[in-house]
Amino acid sequence: MDTSDPDIRFDVSGVCHHCHEYDRLVRERLLTGSARDAALKRIVAQIKADGASKPYDCVIGVSGGVDSSYVAYLVKQLGLRPLAVHLDNGWNSELAVSNISSLLKILNIDLQTFVIDWEEFKDIQLALLRASTPDCEIPSDHAINAVMRQTACRLGLRHIITGCNVRTETHLPPAWSRGHGDWEYIRSIHRRFGTRPIRTFPHLTYLQNRNLMRKQVMTDLLDYVDYVKKDAKSLLIRELGWRDYGGKHFESIYTRFYQGYILPKKFGFDKRRSHLSSLICSGETSRGDALEDLKQEPYPIEQQQEDRAYAAKKFNLTDAEFEVILRVPTKTFWDYPSYTRRLRHPMVVLVRQFIRRLRVSGNAPN
């Protein structure tokens, strides 16, 4: 990590706050040995009990990437009965589609695919690009969370299992991407830069999300096993016909282009720093090897140019029009309305503090 994260802090030894946060999360969230095995056993037993009378006992998300694919493998090994949910936002690579199909067929897992209305989604993505913040990927993340929670709610399921994990996903600067769960942020940008109404895009308001969070349990399963990404890849390739796609989240063409081209060229953010730093802390690579990796392009320049031409065509833009969007001066999350900004308003902060004090005293309303 370096000062391309504007909020980074280093201690006197040159260790950044992200690494200290990694150490804290490992201490607080990752169990080992028999304690971890017992915790996993309890979780699995609870999921089975809660879903005993239903056709499925949990929902998992699948993207074709290594983390979600390994989760699908694990839940079957644990004897669970998952429903796999996939969000098709129009940017799937052929490799991602192939991985999902092969994986779920071998594991005998049912799949429900939610296909986003492309014209709506295109308008939302273009609005985020025109807003010129580094958050242009968050509509997909927001929709994935909404679809998984809404599917679980519709089927009466309490448990959602994710591929999020401490070992490989801790060095995440908010300045590089934030607002994933903030529908007001996405909606406010679309109101300003969009050209058509949003009617079908899956989303959750602040209150809807809070309500579902109270009813549902989201488990980061990979935190309850000895998860080593390279070993997981080897297993998936060997047993499930899975194929590697060359970068974290590169199963999506747009993600590959956005993380490997737009973010570094326009904003100076190279997400490989984040991903590699997490792998250094987890012992899966060395700092020297990671620095050598960073000397290379995020992915081949020829493919970057192909992806740029493909994205412009898919957005119905000429290359010149796309270049104008890419050259707009950069903005940040804080330049647009959001739930987060509302919650940080001084009056709102005072009200929330007052309610917390009432709860402590036992006099607060539910």
Taking only the tens of pLDDT, the chain with its 366 residues reads: 999 999 999 999 999 999 999 999 999 999 999 999 999 999 999 999 999 999 999 999 999 889 999 999 999 999 999 999 999 999 988 888 888 999 999 999 999 999 999 999 999 999 999 999 999 999 999 999 999 999 999 999 999 999 999 988 889 999 999 999 999 999 999 999 999 999 999 999 999 999 999 999 999 999 999 999 999 999 999 999 898 866 555 678 999 999 999 999 999 999 999 999 999 999 999 999 999 999 999 999 999 999 999 999 999 999 999 999 999 999 999 999 999 988 887 776 676 676 777 777 766 555
The CATH number, out of the four listed (3.40.50.620, 3.30.428.10, 1.10.375.10, 2.30.30.100), of the domain defined by the range 17-335: 3.40.50.620
Which conformational region is residue 133 in: left (phi greater than 0), alpha (psi within -120 to 50 degrees), or beta? beta
Residue 69 has a pLDDT of 94
What CA–CA distances, in Å, run from 141 to 137, 236, 248, 335? Answer: 7, 24, 15, 21
Beta-ladder partners of 162: 220
Beta-ladder partners of 83: 59, 110
Instruction: Give the C-alpha separation, 7 to 16, whole Å.
Output: 10
How many CB atoms are located within 10 Å of the residue 62 CB?
Answer: 23
Question: Do the Cβ atoms of 112 and 56 come closer than 8 Å?
Answer: no
Instruction: Give the C-alpha separation, 204 to 183, whole Å.
Output: 7
12: phi then psi, degrees, rounded to nearest 5: -65, -20
Residue 174 has a pLDDT of 94
What residues contact 344, with CB distance under 8 A and at least 6 apart?
none
- Side chain identity at residue 71, one-letter code: V
Euclidean distance between the first and the last CA atom of the chain, given in angstroms as a whole number: 43
Residue 352 has a pLDDT of 65
Question: Do the Cβ atoms of 140 and 204 come closer than 8 Å?
Answer: no
Residue 93 has a pLDDT of 83
Both tokens of 122, joined, read: 């295109």
Residue 243 has a pLDDT of 86
Tallying the residues shown for the chain, one arrives at: 366
The continuous run of DSSP H or E covering 60 comes out as strand 58-61
Question: Do the Cβ atoms of 244 and 237 come closer than 8 Å?
Answer: yes
Question: Do the Cβ atoms of 254 and 237 come closer than 8 Å?
Answer: no
The continuous run of DSSP H or E covering 84 comes out as strand 82-88
Give the full edge-to-edge strand order of the sheet including 217-220: 110-115, 82-88, 58-61, 159-162, 217-220
